[in-house]
A = this chain, B = another copy of it.
Amino acid sequence: MALNYPNGQRYQSVKAPQNKKVLPKTQSFANRGMTFEQMINESNDYYLAKGIAVIHKKPTPVQIVKVDYPKRSAATIKEAYFKQASTTDYNGVYQGRYLDFEAKETRNKTSFPLSNIHQHQIEHMQQCLSQQGLVFLLVYFSTLKECYLLEAQDLLVWWNQKETGKKSIPYSYFQEHVALVPIRISPRIAYLEIIDKMLDRRL
């Protein structure tokens, strides 16, 4: 099981050889050694630097309990807890449009388990949709190295079927009905190309 720090960074055992770069045979150039979150952050950095869009990941929400204010040095947080986020992780602006999305990675090859999504994220997506935001989910099948952009409207259809026992979205549904996001060198996850097509379709 791959372990991540709460900030999304891949956990590395201290025993791992730090200087020896071993590329697994199945890993492509575009995303070697990167978590999906890092790939998205890099893409957002690219979009920002090129003046294409302003999209940021929100900071991890933390409940701060105890802070030390030592003289002459920075305040140190001595006790804090991770809080449940009340929104999705990413939002921003692209050509005047409000963009809002969540990014999820799965090692599963046959389906995307809906347990990856939380009720409060669904509610936030619904709220943003009713304000005409562009809302979606980026799903990365890490074993297959494929990223899909699932529009929130479609995600909601699946979510509402959860009660009937359908607890995951089959991979075949993604293949047949969901936009495949190009993975490039930069931007790594070229999701705005899919947004362009969405906007073209709406005009």
* Chain A residues engaging chain B, CB cutoff 8 angstroms: 5-7, 48, 51, 53-54, 56, 58-62, 64, 67, 74-83, 85-87, 91-98, 100, 124, 127-128, 130-133
B56–A6 touching, CB < 8 Å: no
- Asked whether A132 and B79 contact (CB < 8 A) given A6-B64, A62-B60, A127-B48, the answer is no
Closest to A77 in B: B80
Closest to A53 in B: B131
Closest to A67 in B: B6
A80–B54 touching, CB < 8 Å: no
Q: How far is the CA of A87 from the CA of B75 in the complex (A)?
A: 21
B98–A92 touching, CB < 8 Å: yes
B82–A51 touching, CB < 8 Å: no
A131–B62 touching, CB < 8 Å: no
Closest to A7 in B: B64
B56–A77 touching, CB < 8 Å: no
A87–B128 touching, CB < 8 Å: no
User: Which B residues touch A74, using CB under 8 A?
Assistant: 81-82
B131–A94 touching, CB < 8 Å: yes
User: Which B residues touch A132, using CB under 8 A?
Assistant: 93, 95-96
Residue pairs across A and B with Cβ atoms less than 8 A apart, 24 shown, are: A5-B64, A54-B128, A54-B131, A54-B133, A56-B86, A56-B87, A58-B59, A59-B85, A60-B62, A62-B64, A62-B80, A74-B81, A75-B82, A76-B79, A77-B80, A77-B82, A93-B98, A93-B100, A93-B131, A94-B131, A95-B131, A95-B132, A96-B98, A98-B98
Closest to A59 in B: B61
A51–B130 touching, CB < 8 Å: yes
User: Which B residues touch A81, using CB under 8 A?
Assistant: 74-77
Which of A5, A51, A78 is most buried by chain B, counting CB atoms within 10 A of its CB? A78
